[in-house]
A and B are shown apart, each in its own frame.
Chain A
């Protein structure tokens, strides 16, 4: 590697992969060969850079040039200009929205400023299909250290001291979880990696598995050593084929290198991992449901206790941790608990990966220190709201979270603050909404997801969420009465209070937080039959402006439901009772006589 002058890192994450990054990689490699540059230049596939909105990404090292939206046909130009002539290809550089300046060094660009990459430290840096690249970045050093220098108790102590909390959403202290599992006596224990990422818009776990699979394997082995388990299981949704493929490659390599299997590093410690596939049910992210699914049973939760740490997979003590949690662990062991604990807030240490989505300029994956504010994330890293619109709210925590508004923008992000603000950390989905988003419709959107994903075991979640959804539908269609709003609130509280698992206990959160923050919008829908965002179709009215209408009859002839009446050369009128709001009239009108109220 020492001889190589230029590394061209081609993103192989799912998003860039889907946009032909494989072809880009192949073109670059072919061109390097044709031009006889193979001794100086190397093009390699890496994991996700997090800048998915602007993919496919090609990053040039060592000068940190960040090319976006690269097409396979751009490769010749990049080789010719950048490598041979030493000139950057300006048109492929990221354009900062605010300053309009070309930001050629990615370390200075908005999206990368303020980020600290711990869990994603290797994503976009190494070839995930090559264990040597992981090892070159201190990979498996933490496992070696733990096995040769530390007792399980001492390692758990480090984990506790680091303050790492579960990144899957619950935020349970990881070290404590390990300690509890370790304390249970059993002939067989298991450690599980929960890779059943299911929040709409969240893809941090997938990116870690695709970009840095070895870090998860290494951390699972450390977990096994600490809790007394010699078997690990990765529960991953089958919709992540690329992640599965890279995990399989990584597991094979780790076994070949003696880092998984019998007598790891000659220490007598045995640990191996197998993969179990989920069918993509959101509820299987709940650990008891996940375990039942792994056992081949119906993926539905059971009452806790017993907790998996006492009776989990196949009835044995089982420690379940999430992918992102695992990805932090080798770094904590290598750099120490104090280093990790120095990042973040008092009760939430380290960083958190968020998936930025919605009406934001820089959609993608970011990793930021706990304690950063929403304002910094949305306006600095995220580049602000798309199309110069106004920020309205941000939904954190996926369908279980709540909507945070302007007043929360300067709250430091951590587990406890988000809960206090009426939302939650969740797995890290962050969906930004602007003034064009109707808050009732957003709540309905999340409920639709929950209704779809409820397992159906307990009545409040099975039926209650469906009823919530139906009531929200009534509101968005303008059929609701004031009494329905009281019912909505009461039912939301009962569902939270009585549901069996976390899914139902949090599913009404989007309803409650939107009611808390945007009650006036609910009132407008119910009282004035009006949607201020203009997104609730049923409440829209197509109206003909009599002054502009010349009575050409074009609209009436195109109306599929005969809702438009009027004499030739006279102004026409739309019968609102009949109108289905298809918009055909407005599209056809040549005189701008039709508008939406």
Chain B
């Protein structure tokens, strides 16, 4: 099957709510995805708390490329392609660490980010035999590590984009920013103020990466797959269920999406006041008290400001977050049409008492990740949905995304947002529609008409 750009409108038919299984299993589509989506979109690469000191580095991934996230001695954060310019060897094979230079083990080329030594971060500084063998004719400035042209530190989360012509991160994010911020901010409402608990979970799942992106963009409908853990009850207040409820009073999570941008969340509609207080973490008095205190502080700090509260959300294409319990960031790296590598970072308030961080961490590990009682069941569903969609006959039949089609309505106060109530497939349609636009090779002026008009 040869896939041409004009085919995506048929593969992803938002009008009828039918999406071809090919986009989850096809090798050709996967290869185009790496070019059209991952080489163009803004991608999460890490968090500043993973590289707190000068010369710290953390090895990350963008699409199917290994990259190094580094902090230089001038405190600037860079993203460099982790491949020697001479023969391609990985210049850094550690997950994290601290170094003044990345030296290639193969022929010894070395690269530096120190602004006093080099004009451009990642520039080539050492070449064995530079005088004798290269006769000083090698242009070192031209052969530095490939540097990602666009990098943004947003409240500690680090985002990067390979496409020089891409819109700014904030235009790309639009008003979805509010929901992302509700996950990134300190629980007392202070901007940022969160840190990643040491260690990043990384695991392989033989499923298409889009299953995960769809799952977190606002899929209340799959709650039923977690019934076993709900029966056991692992929530921080005891009893059945797997977490504390989202809120008390008139507010509840609804599915809010941004059709022109491809992002979406399962969160509260925007408002100008805090929801009423209700106790959470009731099995852990000290933690319950902490969350009461930060609730009061937030209420005072934000006053009558505009705000949202968020559950899960997805930033197109492959980043998701959870803003409540457990609070996490996730990336779904493409490995193949039916394989991904999932990464999870757990967030806590940087200045929370250790006992609070401990309780949150234990809860997060009990809930999330490959060993989590909740998430282990998601992996089973995503894997066997991918597998059973590979069949010749199966591929002829689209997935059904018809729930709530045509019922979404605008959200007051959020630019370009719609909401489809508590349970709808609106956000999945938004995600795949955006994906199809990227895959059709549309230009940025077509992809971002509001910004470029």
A binds B: no
